[in-house]
Amino acid sequence: MGDRKNKGLPLNLLQFFILYSIFHLLCISPESVTGQENDGVTIITVNDFQALQAFKRELIDLRGTLKSWNGTRNGACSGSWAGIRCMKGQVVAIQLPFKVLGGRLSDKIGQFKQLRKLSLHDNLIGGTIPSSIGSLPNLRGLYLFSNRFSGTIPASIGNSPQIQAIDLSNNQLNGLIPASLVNSPRIHRVNLSLNSFSGSIPRSFALSSSLIFLALQNNNLSGLIPSSWGTLNLRSLTLDHNSFYGSLPHSLSKLSHLEELSLSYNKINGSLPKEIAGLKNLSSLNLKKNHLTGDIPSSIGNLSRISLLDLSENNFTGEIPASLENLSNLTSFNVSYNSFSGQVPARLSKKFNSSSFVGNIQLCGFSPSTPCISAASPPAESPSLSPLSSDDDHEPKHHHRRLSTKDIILIIVGVLLLILFILCCVLLFCLIRKRTGTKARNGKSAGVEKGFAAAGGAAGADTGPNGGKLVLFDGPFVFTADDLLCATAEIMGKSPYGTVYKATLEDGNQVAVKRLREKLAKTPKEFEIEVAALGRIRHPNLLPLRAYYLGPKGEKLLVFDYMSKGSLSSFLHARGPETTIDWPTRMKIAIGVTRGVNYIHNQENLVHGNLTSGDVYLDEQNNPRISDYGIHRLMTDSANTNVIGTAGSAGYRAPELPKTKKTTTKTDIYSLGVIILELLTGKSPNEAVDGSDLPQWVASTVKEEWTNEVFDLELMRDVSTTGDEMLNTLKLALHLVDPLPEARPDVQQVLQQLEEINPKLIAETPEESAEKTHH
Ligand SMILES: *[C@@H]1O[C@H](CO)[C@@H](O)[C@H](O)[C@H]1NC(C)=O
Ligand SMILES: *[C@@H]1O[C@H](CO)[C@@H](O)[C@H](O)[C@H]1NC(C)=O
Ligand SMILES: *[C@@H]1O[C@H](CO)[C@@H](O)[C@H](O)[C@H]1NC(C)=O
Ligand SMILES: *[C@@H]1O[C@H](CO)[C@@H](O)[C@H](O)[C@H]1NC(C)=O
Ligand SMILES: *[C@@H]1O[C@H](CO)[C@@H](O)[C@H](O)[C@H]1NC(C)=O
Ligand SMILES: *[C@@H]1O[C@H](CO)[C@@H](O)[C@H](O)[C@H]1NC(C)=O
Ligand SMILES: *[C@@H]1O[C@H](CO)[C@@H](O)[C@H](O)[C@H]1NC(C)=O
Ligand SMILES: *[C@@H]1O[C@H](CO)[C@@H](O)[C@H](O)[C@H]1NC(C)=O
Ligand SMILES: *[C@@H]1O[C@H](CO)[C@@H](O)[C@H](O)[C@H]1NC(C)=O
Ligand SMILES: *[C@@H]1O[C@H](CO)[C@@H](O)[C@H](O)[C@H]1NC(C)=O
Ligand SMILES: *[C@@H]1O[C@H](CO)[C@@H](O)[C@H](O)[C@H]1NC(C)=O
């Protein structure tokens, strides 16, 4: 048996999969199982014959494989019974894989005193595994994988003194793993993967000196990884997709033959011990998706045979060790979604594309969109700031362009205002005439207010002047439909979904009213369900929806708080040349917008879909408030598809959108990145610079090491104190506008980074300053 074992064992993992099937055959030596061996004694013993009949009885043989098991004792060992091999009138092997057999495994199986191999894998056999298997004194290989066995493993199974391989993988087994499974001094392969075993790994498994393959992946196992490994022969240890916790024991490094170690998808914490370098033969190390922290020890470069290294989705920090560069056999490498920082070693970034590195906000140099900006550059250049500021061509040009933009905007706004004013006059005139003609004057507004109180209910009852319906959400103002419709209004702006007016109510309060384009909106019934949900959303960085009005002809008005400072877009781009916006203000706006997006994504599970600096409004303290979140929910799907295609928000649109036509949290992150670039550069994304859009222009300028050119000139005055913050914010923003959606961080990460860049702004709780005005 001994030399057969050596022959059957694969030499390395690559060969393993090929040899795996060969091993199955070699488990029983050819001379002992071939038909020719049934010399002399060809008549099966009564005992084995009865056991075979019992075995057949309990199986369901849909394909008729066992039809050949006919006739008398004479035939059973003649070689004509499918899957049966005998020696001296006793069954030594039952091999019926892939035969669509159902039913159960008879416990008469324990009667085959010479059975060496039981291979029934890839069938449909269910029920429990009979404990009588443990009384088979000569069993060497038990292959029951890929069936429907359920229940627990009988502890007796490991009792067969000769057993070498137990493969029960891919069944529905549960309960604890019996420690006695590895009792046999010859056991070298145990595969219990793809079941529902629970509990922890028995200590005996770590102490067995014969075990070579241990596969427990895809179960419900938990507990610590055993800390005292004595099994010096283990070559493959796969424990992935369980719930193991605790840290990686240093003693793992004693497994000097180990070639494959997979612990991915567990809850392992602590750090990667530097002793890992002792695993000289390791070719595959997979630690994906755990809770590991700390630095990667540079000794990892000693794993000269490594070909797969996956450390992704952990919490590793520090730099990626340069020692990895020289691992010539490394073909699969992933460190994405950690907290690595610094520069990716050049040869690694050449060999692997960005999908191996994404999700490390502070990591740079692995793709064109993540250039490493030398942190020293802005302060270093502050002495040489003089050439920049004395560069007189630059500044006037800048101002000139800004002024002309402003002029254009002013002219457009002026024209629009004039048109609107005329329209308003006509509308108002009509309304007043109608009202005075049809309605009794007294008690009118009181009556309507009662109607609002009952608003959720029957429409029409709580009528406005023309049978419209006003529903108020919680907020500081109480007004009636009449108040709203009679308010004086001036146009503030247009968006793809409709026009926004500033309305001054009779009592002097001001609100912003958005009139939705009727053709684009959903039916009133659907509209009301969606708008009620939007009306409940409250966050200091989101512009609250205070009311909606549904007119008798289907007109839809949304009422928001009025923000006197206007939009971020006009704040940045339509100001006079003498108005400066300092860095702390810009940072505060960036963080506020990010908080708003964070709330939309993570509390409301919404996508904004159309985020631009025109949708961000500022209150008196320059706290930003995002509007239009979730507004696409009020619109028909076709309207939304069209809006995605419009040019309105061109500069903010993620590059994949024209193709996918589907807004996601990642397209929002892109838009957020553009807004942050807008704050940094003072440039509007709507005006292309040198034929490229804002993110492209910034990325290429940074790459040419003209980082200072990127920042808004007026920010350069304080560069000695704020340079680092600006630089780090710029790096972050470039991650947000990565052309690859999956490379963009989540908003939570963005927020965390921004707060780290400027810790002062965490202390200041915007909740208080913003929301107290309403309560
Ligand atoms: C038994 O089965 C074999 C193969 O299916 C067949 O050739 C043979 O005729 C059968 N014998 C009897 C006695 O049914
Ligand atoms: C264990 O079983 C699984 C599923 O049947 C299989 O994919 C894997 O290759 C096996 N591993 C070993 C070491 O036998
Ligand atoms: C996994 O084990 C836990 C206890 O350790 C148990 O609560 C849970 O139901 C198990 N899940 C499955 C799918 O068996
Ligand atoms: C490592 O693998 C090689 C080749 O596969 C083998 O010759 C050597 O004995 C192994 N070393 C250890 C410690 O297992
Ligand atoms: C790892 O997690 C365990 C709980 O599962 C905890 O007791 C231990 O302190 C953690 N260790 C580290 C290094 O975080
Ligand atoms: C990573 O660490 C940070 C703090 O150090 C913690 O907030 C975060 O939850 C950790 N992430 C994971 C996946 O463990
Ligand atoms: C790594 O290998 C170098 C030389 O090859 C050796 O000096 C160093 O001690 C090794 N480190 C570890 C942790 O094995
Ligand atoms: C790299 O892999 C090849 C092929 O598997 C092997 O021959 C070679 O020895 C390996 N190199 C190292 C340094 O392990
Ligand atoms: C990698 O190998 C080259 C020579 O092949 C050597 O010059 C360089 O120092 C090595 N790098 C590391 C990090 O060991
Ligand atoms: C990156 O490389 C992996 C394989 O290493 C490949 O599957 C993937 O498509 C590549 N991604 C890009 C964006 O090139
Ligand atoms: C690296 O891991 C991440 C996260 O699981 C995955 O999205 C990415 O496709 C992986 N990249 C490669 C090259 O395997």
Q: Whose CA is nearest to atom 3 of ligand 11?
A: 336
Q: Which of 286, 331, 355 to mutate to test the pocket of ligand 11 (most atoms within 8 A of CB)?
A: 355
From the CA of 278, give the closest atom in ligand 7.
14
Ligand approaching nearest to the C-alpha of 176: 3
Please identify, among 156, 177, 199, the residue that sits at the C-terminal boundary of a domain. 199
What is the spatial order of strands in the sheet that 488-495 belongs to?
A: 469-472, 545-550, 556-561, 510-516, 498-504, 488-495
From the CA of 198, give the closest atom in ligand 3.
2
pLDDT above 90 (res 332): yes
Q: Whose CA is nearest to atom 14 of ligand 7?
A: 277
Q: How much of the chain exceeds pLDDT 70, in percent? A: 79
Cβ–Cβ contacts within 10 Å for residue 600, how many?
Answer: 25
What's the pLDDT tens digit per position in 307-324? Answer: 999 999 999 999 999 999
Q: Whose CA is nearest to atom 11 of ligand 8?
A: 305
**Nearest by Cα to 506 from 530, 482, 526:** 482
pLDDT above 50 (res 755): yes
Please tell me what DSSP assigns to residue 152. Answer: P
Tell me the CA–centroid distance for residue 661 and ligand 1, in Å: 65
Tell me the CA–centroid distance for residue 292 and ligand 9, in Å: 28
406: confidence class by pLDDT, cuts 50, 70, 90:
low
577: confidence class by pLDDT, cuts 50, 70, 90:
confident
Output phi, psi for 483, to 5 deg: -55, -45
In angstroms, the CA 740 to CA 722 distance is: 30
In angstroms, the CA 352 to CA 307 distance is: 13
Give the residue with greater pLDDT, 436 vs 525.
525
pLDDT of residue 334: 97
Quick check: CB of 351 below 6 Å from ligand 8?
Answer: no
Q: Please report whether residue 484 resides in a domain.
A: yes
Do 626 and 721 fall within a single domain? yes
Separation in Å, CA 759 to CA 85, 272, 754: 76, 30, 8
Ligand 3: residues within 6 Å at CB?
Answer: 196, 198, 220, 222
Separation in Å, CA 694 to CA 446, 650, 651, 678, 691: 53, 11, 7, 8, 10
In angstroms, the CA 453 to CA 301 distance is: 71
Q: Whose CA is nearest to atom 4 of ligand 9?
A: 326
CATH number of domain containing 283: 3.80.10.10
What's the pLDDT tens digit per position in 140-158? Answer: 999 999 999 999 999 999 8
pLDDT above 60 (res 772): no
**Nearest by Cα to 16 from 278, 205, 215:** 215
pLDDT of residue 400: 41
Ligand approaching nearest to the C-alpha of 238: 2
Vertex 648 angle, CA 646 and 649, to 5°: 100
pLDDT above 50 (res 402): no
Report which residue type is found at 754. L
Q: Please report whether residue 693 resides in a domain.
A: yes
pLDDT of residue 390: 33
Tell me the CA–centroid distance for residue 591 and ligand 6, in Å: 20
pTM of the model: 0.58
From the CA of 326, give the closest atom in ligand 9.
1
Ligand approaching nearest to the C-alpha of 314: 6
Ligand 5: residues within 6 Å at CB?
Answer: 245-247, 269-270
Vertex 685 angle, CA 684 and 687, to 5°: 75
Please identify, among 354, 373, 392, the residue that sits at the C-terminal boundary of a domain. 373
Q: Please report whether residue 4 resides in a domain.
A: no
H or E element in which residue 585 lies: helix 583-602
Place of tokens 């609107």: 420
Give the residue with greater pLDDT, 13 vs 95.
95
Please tell me what DSSP assigns to residue 319. Answer: P
pLDDT above 70 (res 766): no
Do 636 and 719 fall within a single domain? yes
Tell me the CA–centroid distance for residue 762 and ligand 6, in Å: 18
Residue 477 C-beta-side C-alpha neighbours within 13 Å: 25
How is 612-660 classified by DSSP, letter by letter? -TTSEEE-TT--EEE--TTGGGGB-HHHHHHHHHSSTTGGG--TTHHHH
Q: Both tokens of residue 764?
A: 């200041």
Do 680 and 726 fall within a single domain? yes
Q: Please report whether residue 332 resides in a domain.
A: yes
Domain membership of residue 255 as a residue range: 232-373
Do 700 and 676 fall within a single domain? yes
Quick check: CB of 144 below 6 Å from ligand 2?
Answer: no
pLDDT above 80 (res 293): yes
Place of tokens 């942190």: 375
pLDDT of residue 464: 53
Q: What is the mean pLDDT of the chain?
A: 80
Do 487 and 606 fall within a single domain? no
Ligand 1: residues within 6 Å at CB?
Answer: 67-68, 70-71
Quick check: CB of 329 below 6 Å from ligand 8?
Answer: yes
Do 123 and 247 fall within a single domain? no
pLDDT of residue 585: 92
pLDDT above 60 (res 272): yes
Tell me the CA–centroid distance for residue 281 and ligand 9, in Å: 21
Tell me the CA–centroid distance for residue 743 and ligand 11, in Å: 10
How is 409-464 classified by DSSP, letter by letter? HHHHHHHHHHHHHHHHHHHHHHHHHHHHHHS-STTHHHHHHHHHHTTTS-TTTSB-
pLDDT of residue 737: 93
**Nearest by Cα to 365 from 388, 344, 338, 386:** 344
Tell me the CA–centroid distance for residue 86 and ligand 2, in Å: 28
Give the residue with greater pLDDT, 32 vs 679.
679
Ligand approaching nearest to the C-alpha of 259: 4
33: confidence class by pLDDT, cuts 50, 70, 90:
very low
Quick check: CB of 147 below 6 Å from ligand 2?
Answer: no
Quick check: CB of 277 below 6 Å from ligand 7?
Answer: yes
H or E element in which residue 223 lies: strand 222-224
Do 546 and 578 fall within a single domain? no
Q: Both tokens of residue 190?
A: 């145990």
Quick check: CB of 305 below 6 Å from ligand 8?
Answer: yes
Which residues lie below 8 Å from residue 266, measured CB to CB, with a gap of 6+? 239, 240, 241, 242, 243, 244, 245, 289, 290
Q: Whose CA is nearest to atom 7 of ligand 11?
A: 355
What's the pLDDT tens digit per position in 598-627? Answer: 999 999 899 988 899 988 999 888 999 999
In angstroms, the CA 728 to CA 743 distance is: 18
Q: How many domains does the chain have?
A: 4
679: confidence class by pLDDT, cuts 50, 70, 90:
very high
Tell me the CA–centroid distance for residue 305 and ligand 7, in Å: 14
Instruction: Please answer whether residues 686 and 732 qualify as being in contact, where contact means their C-beta atoms are separated by less than 8 angstroms.
Output: no
pLDDT of residue 726: 87
In angstroms, the CA 452 to CA 473 distance is: 10
How far is it between the farthest Cα atoms of the chain? Answer: 118
Do 553 and 578 fall within a single domain? no
Q: Please report whether residue 631 resides in a domain.
A: yes
381: confidence class by pLDDT, cuts 50, 70, 90:
very low
**Nearest by Cα to 679 from 621, 740, 738, 616:** 616
763: confidence class by pLDDT, cuts 50, 70, 90:
very low
Vertex 648 angle, CA 643 and 651, to 5°: 115
CA 265 to chain centre: 14
From the CA of 236, give the closest atom in ligand 2.
13
Q: Whose CA is nearest to atom 9 of ligand 3?
A: 220
CATH number of domain containing 457: 3.30.200.20
Tell me the CA–centroid distance for residue 688 and ligand 10, in Å: 31
Do 500 and 615 fall within a single domain? no
Instruction: Please answer whether residues 698 and 707 qualify as being in contact, where contact means their C-beta atoms are separated by less than 8 angstroms.
Output: no
Do 185 and 256 fall within a single domain? no
Ligand approaching nearest to the C-alpha of 358: 11
Q: Which of 276, 302, 305, 306 to mutate to test the pocket of ligand 7 (most atoms within 8 A of CB)?
A: 302
pLDDT of residue 245: 96
Q: How much of the chain exceeds pLDDT 90, in percent? A: 45
CATH number of domain containing 601: 1.10.510.10
Q: Which of 196-210, 330-344, 487-501, 671-685 has the lowest mean pLDDT?
A: 487-501
Quick check: CB of 321 below 6 Å from ligand 9?
Answer: no
- CB-count burial class (<10 Å; 0-12, 13-18, 19+) for 16: middle
Quick check: CB of 353 below 6 Å from ligand 10?
Answer: yes
Tell me the CA–centroid distance for residue 111 and ligand 5, in Å: 50
Please identify, among 512, 539, 561, the residue that sits at the C-terminal boundary of a domain. 561
pLDDT of residue 415: 61
Quick check: CB of 193 below 6 Å from ligand 2?
Answer: yes
Quick check: CB of 274 below 6 Å from ligand 7?
Answer: yes
Q: Which of 158-167, 375-384, 574-583, 702-711 has the lowest mean pLDDT?
A: 375-384
Quick check: CB of 302 below 6 Å from ligand 7?
Answer: yes
Do 684 and 708 fall within a single domain? yes
Which residues sit opposite 126 in a β-bridge? 104
Do 132 and 265 fall within a single domain? no
Q: Please report whether residue 727 resides in a domain.
A: yes
pLDDT of residue 292: 97
H helical segments located in 285-393: 346-351, 377-381, 385-389
Mean pLDDT, residues 282-287 taken together: 97
pLDDT above 90 (res 388): no
Which residues sit opposite 285 in a β-bridge? 261, 309
Q: Please report whether residue 285 resides in a domain.
A: yes
pLDDT of residue 398: 40
In angstroms, the CA 595 to CA 618 distance is: 14
From the CA of 220, give the closest atom in ligand 3.
1
Quick check: CB of 291 below 6 Å from ligand 6?
Answer: yes
pLDDT above 90 (res 221): yes
Please tell me what DSSP assigns to residue 375. Answer: T
What's the pLDDT tens digit per position in 9-27? Answer: 323 322 332 233 333 333 3
**Nearest by Cα to 496 from 641, 365, 697, 335:** 641
Q: Which of 265-274, 440-449, 522-531 has the lowest mean pLDDT?
A: 440-449
With b meaning 16 or more CB within 10 Å and e meaning fewer, what string describes 129-164? bbbbbbbbebbbbbbbbbbebeeebbbbbbbbebbb
Q: Both tokens of residue 328?
A: 């010539």
Instruction: Please answer whether residues 218 and 243 qualify as being in contact, where contact means their C-beta atoms are separated by less than 8 angstroms.
Output: no
Q: Which of 386-395, 446-455, 700-709 has the lowest mean pLDDT?
A: 446-455
Q: Whose CA is nearest to atom 8 of ligand 6?
A: 315
In angstroms, the CA 595 to CA 469 distance is: 33
Q: Which of 231-245, 254-268, 399-413, 711-725 has the lowest mean pLDDT?
A: 399-413
What's the pLDDT tens digit per position in 683-693? Answer: 888 776 667 88
Tell me the CA–centroid distance for residue 349 and ligand 11, in Å: 15
Mean pLDDT, residues 700-712 taken together: 76
pLDDT of residue 411: 58
pLDDT of residue 166: 96
Ligand approaching nearest to the C-alpha of 331: 10
Which residues lie below 8 Å from residue 165, measured CB to CB, with a gap of 6+? 23, 27, 140, 141, 142, 143, 187, 188, 189, 190
Q: Please report whether residue 399 resides in a domain.
A: no
Output phi, psi for 45, to 5 deg: -70, 155
- Most confident of the following: 71-80, 138-147, 525-534: 138-147
In angstroms, the CA 169 to CA 193 distance is: 5
pLDDT of residue 645: 62
363: confidence class by pLDDT, cuts 50, 70, 90:
very high
In angstroms, the CA 722 to CA 588 distance is: 14
Which residues lie below 8 Å from residue 511, measured CB to CB, with a gap of 6+? 477, 479, 484, 487, 502, 503, 505, 546, 559, 560, 561, 562
